[in-house]
Amino acid sequence: MSAVMQPKVDADRKAFYGKIDKSNVTPLWEVLHGLITATPNTPCKPYLWKWDTVWPWIQEAGQLITAKEAERRVLVLENPGLRGQSRITHSLYAGLQLILPGEVAPAHRHSQSALRFILQGSGAYTAVDGEKVTMNVGDFVITPSWTYHDHGNPSKEPMVWMDGLDVPIVELFDAQFLERPSMETQHTDRDQGYNLAQFGNTMKPVEYKHKTHTSPLFWYPYERTRGALDAMKKAQDPHACWGYKLQYTNPVTGDWAMPTIGTFMQMLPKGFKGKPYRSTDSTVYAVVEGKGRCSVNGETLTFGPKDVFVCPSWMPYTLEADDDAVIFSYSDRPVQQALDLWREQF
Ligand code: GTQ
């Protein structure tokens, strides 16, 4: 085709696009290269939220609104590449929730699954399905899809945890529901610790049959997780990329603790310099102990306790630690694996 033909071709195509556009039809060839890409083309960016920066703002939020009025007094951590979408990665939500002494965050239930990862304070509780769990720093707590939950703080100190929810995943499927019961708080008739006793001891009640894909154990205390990492560290060498890393499991099925969110705790031993790693699950990290660095996409994220950072899909990153660093993380890995999509490379 000669060059002189081009304007006519362009004009014909434009006219054609205009004609079919009115009926909501569009040519694939104009968008194909952006649609089916050779590697993940994520809008998610690497980012670090320093605790020292956000903690004063969390306290300020505590002066501006009560937990009751807000329903949930949370500062959402929005990925800089996804502003206005209440997302920390393309598929997951994160927020920092504050509950002050004497406050109650009223009960509700929703299709979205939630995790709590405790960053500061002790003595506040979350009530899940009729049972209160009093939380401490480093604990991982699950609120399964469609279970009633309310939070309260009978302690004398403010309590902050990170909320991780699968909001964007549920939104993708347009499958969200929310209900508020008539009572502000749930009647809790079981003792604290009952859930852990039933499911946290590599046993289960003989009559227990699981009905959902979420772990029946909803409280994973830090003490146990930390103990497991310590034992691992004594027994073996660290993995070249991730040091010592454990995945939280459903004790009954051995599967993920939550169907949509994979959760992990890892330890980078003092002086660790990890090799580059990448995977298709954009990952949210929350630091419990220690200091170190994550280098991703030419940026160095220098982290310490209570900091939160994100490593986006398929960007190679390395982890380093100055002292023993213990880091919680979560991602959409269970969903990707269930759909045969997940890849990693190291
Ligand atoms: O605690 O139920 O950060 O429903 C966002 C939505 C927390 C909660 C969030 C929620 C909650």
pTM of this structure: 0.96
SS3 assignment, position 321: strand
Assess whether pLDDT exceeds 90 at residue 5.
Answer: no
Ligand 1 binding pocket includes 295 (Cβ within 6 Å): no
Q: Residues 46-72: pLDDT tens digits? A: 999 999 999 999 999 999 999 999 999
Ligand 1 lined by 319 (C-beta under 6 Å)? no
Coil vs helix vs strand at 155: coil
Rounded CA separation 171/18 (Å): 31
CB of 119 sitting under 6 A from ligand 1: no
CB of residue 163 inside a 6 A radius of ligand 1: yes
Q: What is the pLDDT of residues 24-45, one digit of tens each?
A: 999 999 999 999 999 999 999 9
> Pick from 10, 166, 8, 3: which is nearest to 89 by CA?
166
State the pLDDT at residue 188: 80
Query: In terms of C-beta distances under 8 Å and separation of at least 24 residues, what long-range contacts does 334-342 make, across chains too?
Result: 334/255, 334/256, 334/258, 334/259, 334/260, 334/261, 334/262, 335/91, 335/169, 335/259, 335/260, 336/280, 336/281, 338/259, 341/280, 342/279, 342/280, 342/281
Task: Give the nearest ligand 1 atom to 149 CA.
Answer: 2
Name the residue of 99, 163, 166 whose CB sits within 8 Å of the most ligand 1 atoms, as the mutation to test its pocket: 163
Distance CA 70, CA 106 (A): 10
Question: 69 forms bridges with which residues in the sheet?
Answer: none
Is 276 within 8 Å of 53 (Cβ atoms)? no
Do 68 and 104 meet the contact criterion of CB atoms below 8 Å apart? yes
Question: By C-alpha distance, which of 157, 334, 329 is closest to 256?
Answer: 334
pLDDT of 230 higher than 90: yes
Residue located nearest, by CA, to atom 10 of ligand 1? 72
Q: Decide: 58 in ligand 1 pocket, CB within 6 A.
A: no
Q: How far apart are CA 249 and CA 264, in angstroms?
A: 9
Q: Using one digit for the tens of pLDDT, what is the confidence trace for 66-118?
A: 999 999 999 999 999 999 999 999 999 999 999 999 999 999 999 999 999 99
* Ligand 1 atom nearest to CA at 105: 1
Rg (CA), the chain: 23
User: Per the structure block, which two tokens stand in for 231?
Assistant: 């034992």
Place of tokens 């009560």: 66
Token pair for residue 208? Answer: 């227990």
Ligand 1 pocket check for 292: Cβ under 6 Å: no
CA of 71 to the centre of ligand 1 (A): 8
Name the residue with the closest Cα to ligand 1, atom 8. Answer: 72
Distance from residue 165's CA to the centre of ligand 1 (Å): 8
Quick check: CB of 150 below 6 Å from ligand 1? no
Atom of ligand 1 nearest to the CA of 116: 1
How do the domains of the chain map onto residue ranges? Answer: 47-345
In order of 23, 101, 312, the CA distances from 70 in angstroms are: 43, 16, 30
- How far, rounded to the nearest angstrom, does the alpha carbon of residue 257 sit from its chain's CA centroid? 13
Residues 117 and 161: beta-carbon distance below 8 Å: yes
Is the CB–ligand 1 distance for residue 165 below 6 Å? yes
Tokens of 279: 């995977």
3-state SS, residue 80? helix
Specify the higher pLDDT residue, 191 or 318.
318
Residue 147 CB less than 6 A away from ligand 1: no
Q: Cα(151) to centroid of ligand 1, in Å? A: 10
Q: How far is the C-alpha of 251 from the C-alpha of 10, rounded, in Å?
A: 61
Cα 202 to ligand 1 centroid, rounded to whole Å: 30
pLDDT value at 333 more than 80? yes
Atom of ligand 1 nearest to the CA of 108: 2
To the nearest whole number, what is the mean pLDDT of the chain?
A: 96
Which architecture, in CATH terms, is 47-345? Sandwich (2.60)
**Ligand 1 contact, 124 CB (< 6 A):** no
